[in-house]
Amino acid sequence: MLDVGCGTGAITRGIAETVGPEGRVVGVDVNASMIDKARAAHRGVPGLSFEVADVEALPPGGAFDIVTAARVLQWLADPAAALRSMTAAAKSRGRVVVLDYNHEKAAWTPAPPPSMRRFYAAFLQWRAATGMNNAIADHLRDLFARAGLGDIVATDQHEVSQRADPDFEMRAGIWAAVAATRGHQMVADGAISERERHAAETDYRAWLRDGADSHVQYLLAVEGVRT
């Protein structure tokens, strides 16, 4: 199995521990420092290795039964090229599996503060200006077909957070975290001001604590078979 965009490798390790002693799992990421961390954290797991690789330039030898990427294509200017590369890395009749968002369909109840709504609109515009597809989840079926994959199946994997959930503020708080991290890059790029970024983060954290009921991230898993 090949796991693309493996980050620090925790999920990849979990996969490796389920494939059995004869299985092989390779986690790849373009970020060399993340690969170093993954190797350090998960060394010694049988059949598991980590490599620095670009998703658009994976080895095309068709060596893997499954090639998967979670929440990766949303950050790419050319997801079609990435999917073609993933398909080429899969064996004949091997599976390609992608999990990703449609950020245009995120939903909050009640509506978050105006400062966060402005931030979120700027976030979508900022992504689109750099070539990222905000609605990638709903385009995956077509991208799979264009990559030559067959037997395509899409499954809802929406991330639903409710006030009663013990981890509600952590999960629904993802947008405060985005404002605190990507928000600084948006400020540097001129997409928003620092004052707007700070207000969005601060107001959203207060809303989570005092007024939020639910948050839904629209997420699909799509799989296909290399023909």
**Exposure of 129 in the CB half-sphere (CA atoms within 13 A):** 10
In a domain, 96, yes or no: yes
Q: Which residues contact 156 (CB under 8 A, 6 or more apart)?
A: 219, 220
The pLDDT assigned to 120 comes to 98
- The one-character DSSP state at 112 is P
Assigned domain for 42 exists: no
CB atoms within 10 A of CB 177: 14
Higher pLDDT, 127 or 47: 127
How confident is the prediction for the chain on average, in pLDDT? 94
Task: Determine, yes or no, domain membership for 44.
Answer: no
Q: What is the DSSP string of 149-179?
A: EEEEEEEE--EEEETTSTTHHHHHTHHHHHH
2-37, pLDDT tens digit by residue? 999 888 877 788 777 777 777 889 999 999 999 999
Number of domains composing the chain? 1
The CATH number of the domain where 63 resides is what? 3.40.50.150
Confirm if 7 and 38 have CB atoms less than 8 A apart. yes
The verdict on residue 2 lying in a domain is: no
- pLDDT score at 188: 98
Considering the domain boundaries, does residue 14 fall inside one?
no
Alpha-carbon distance of 43 to 207, in angstroms, equals 42
Per residue in 164-182, pLDDT (tens digit) is 999 999 999 999 999 999 9
Asked whether 204 and 116 are in contact (CB, 8 A), the reply is yes
* Each residue's pLDDT tens digit, 185-220: 999 999 999 999 999 999 999 999 999 999 999 999
Which of 203, 176, 183 lies closest to 115, judged by CA?
A: 203
For residues 196 and 130, the answer to whether their CB atoms sit within 8 Å is: no
* DSSP per position, 46-79: TTEEEEE--GGG---S--EEEEEEES-GGG-S-H
Q: How far is the C-alpha of 225 from the C-alpha of 149, rounded, in Å? A: 5
> Tokens at residue 213, please?
């009921």
Has residue 126 been placed in a domain?
yes
Residue 140 placed within a domain: yes
Looking at residue 13, its pLDDT comes to 81
Domain of residue 58 covers 54-226
CA-to-CA separations, 135 to 13, 21, 70, 153, in angstroms, rounded: 29, 39, 15, 18
By the 10 Å C-beta count (0-12 exposed, 13-18 middle, 19+ buried), 172 is classed as buried
With respect to residue 5, please indicate whether it lies within any of the assigned structural domains. no
